[in-house]
Homo-oligomer: A and B are copies of this chain.
């Protein structure tokens, strides 16, 4: 039995046509983005390799890749862990999200044709359904899909990887924070965004996206709560 809290994350079956490296990378990436690995928890190559049933090699590469997008942190000890959150870092990440995503949304707007609009409406509908059944994990996944679908409507878009880096950095903390919260104020500014898209109103779209981001993380945004969750977060990764 491990003295450390065991690591658990979603294991998707590997498609034979994809390299082991890529599969490991995407599995770990998904785990981090959806907060399945707690901040502060030390990750070792051999342990992950054992869980995933592969040799240490692909895991090494995946950890390094995740570190370069700041999803993981390689400390001086050469230990790899999910970074801890600070109040200021949290603020900066949210502000960066608003700046980048509102920009990406407005640059995608001209490319949203009727089928793409339909796809967004469908995602919006699925989110509403998931909210009724209170499936928080599903809501988060669908919310990501909605934003991703919007931004990647621009075929020349280059900012999605940057945005995902921010999602990766926020994921573990937001997951932990929402886990310790009884009531979830799930805000849905997507209707507002949809209207802006239909009207081809870039400014209104930017405002809707900013509101969606700001309110989507507002449940921790009061200074006291933020501080509380950061403490909580630091404790969770204690061992």
Contacts and interface: CB of A to CB of B under 8 A. Distances in A.
Contact of A61 (B60, B96, B100, B103): B60
A232 B138 CA distance: 48
Interface string A91-106: 1110110011001000
Interface stretch (A63-71, A178-186, A187-195): A63-71
Contacts of A162: 96, 100, 162, 165-166
A156 B100 contact: no
A221 interface: no
Contact of A96 (B68, B92, B158): B158
B158 A70 contact: yes
Contacts of A223: none
29 contacts: A21-B64, A61-B61, A61-B64, A68-B68, A68-B69, A69-B69, A69-B161, A70-B158, A70-B161, A86-B156, A89-B158, A92-B154, A92-B159, A93-B158, A95-B103, A95-B107, A96-B100, A96-B103, A96-B158, A99-B99, A99-B103, A100-B100, A100-B103, A100-B162, A158-B166, A158-B169, A161-B165, A162-B162, A162-B166
Interface of A: 21, 60-61, 64-65, 68-70, 86, 88-89, 91-93, 95-96, 99-100, 103, 107, 154-159, 161-162, 165-166, 169
